[in-house]
């Protein structure tokens, strides 16, 4: 029984930060930001890229709106599309880290975590010329060792305060835009995806279709578009 209780306690400690994306009090307890530090500005963020079709389409919409965004890149995708990763940076958007492989961190040992993080940082920096310091985990789920390692590496964790749930197969552009902009205000971090590598097929098309409405609603608040590190 003592062994079982000890194992259960260790597992609970390992998973303790995992609920932060859906439980604000957990995010607060573990000091994982979901919003910008400043109440001024709105940050549009994209996960899971680069993607050969989705990323260029997103970049075009951002350019039309004069908006800068933050792209949390996956190392294995950057290796496949290094010139596209470089294009994101050249367009003035912020580069951030989403890991090397898109795998739930709860399943990874501390050694595997360090290897993944270091490989991601090297691949992304080589392709983009940037040295990103923002990190968002796959699925937004941290393990306790991962969160500790992120901070030891001098990175800053960041989740989100608004999302379009654009990865879902049943999502529509209208629903994505409505969810992403509900009660939108200064300090919000909006989560979207410019890729369908780890979600429903062609989900990026729905995101791109929703993006003009999201950008228009953001602009209508009177808040400027900011990259995530400008205010965190």
The 10s digit of each residue's pLDDT in 157-177 is: 999 999 999 999 999 999 999
What CA–CA distance (Å, rounded) separates 13 from 18?
Answer: 10
Residue 231 has pLDDT above 60, yes or no: no
| Residue 1 predicted with pLDDT over 60 | no
Lowest mean pLDDT among 42-46, 108-112, 206-210: 108-112
The yes-or-no verdict on residue 6 having pLDDT over 80 is: no
Task: Decide if 193 contacts 199 (C-beta within 8 A).
Answer: yes
- Give the start-end residues of each E strand in 61-218: 70-73, 94-97, 134-135, 156-157, 162-163, 189-193
Helix, strand, coil shares, percent, the chain, to 5? 50, 10, 40
Residue 77 has pLDDT above 80, yes or no: yes
Residue 4 pLDDT class (50, 70, 90 cuts): low
- The structural domains of the chain, ordered by start, are 2-230 (3.20.20.370)
Task: Give yes or no: 193 in active site.
Answer: yes
| Close Cβ partners of 21 (under 8 Å, ≥ 6 residues apart) | 27, 34, 139, 140, 141, 159, 160
Query: SS3 for 135?
Result: strand
Question: Reduced to 3 states, what is the DSSP secondary structure of residue 74?
Answer: coil
Is-catalytic flag, 47?
yes
Q: Which candidate in 51, 93, 98, 193 is catalytic?
A: 193
């Amino acid at each position: 029984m003592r062994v079982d209780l000890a194992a259960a306690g260790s597992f609970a400690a390992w998973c303790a930060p995992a609920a932060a994306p859906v439980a604000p009090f957990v995010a607060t307890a573990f000091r994982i930001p979901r919003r910008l530090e400043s109440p001024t500005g709105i940050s549009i963020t994209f996960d899971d890229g680069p993607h050969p079709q989705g990323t260029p389409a997103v970049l075009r919409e951002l350019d039309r709106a004069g908006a800068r965004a933050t792209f949390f890149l996956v190392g294995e995708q950057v290796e496949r599309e290094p010139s596209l990763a470089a294009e994101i940076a050249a367009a003035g958007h912020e580069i951030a880290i989403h890991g090397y492989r898109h795998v739930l961190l709860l399943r990874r040992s501390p050694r595997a975590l360090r290897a993944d993080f270091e490989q991601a940082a090297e691949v992304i920096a080589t392709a983009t010329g940037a040295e990103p310091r923002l990190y968002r985990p796959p699925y937004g789920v941290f393990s306790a060792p991962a969160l500790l390692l992120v901070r030891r590496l001098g990175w800053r964790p960041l989740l989100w305060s608004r999302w379009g749930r654009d990865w879902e197969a049943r999502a529509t552009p209208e629903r994505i835009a409505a969810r992403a902009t509900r009660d939108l205000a200064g300090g919000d971090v909006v989560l979207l995806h410019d890729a369908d590598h780890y979600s429903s097929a062609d989900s990026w098309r729905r995101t791109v279709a929703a993006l003009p409405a999201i950008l228009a609603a953001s602009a209508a608040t009177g808040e400027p578009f900011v990259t995530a590190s400008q205010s965190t």
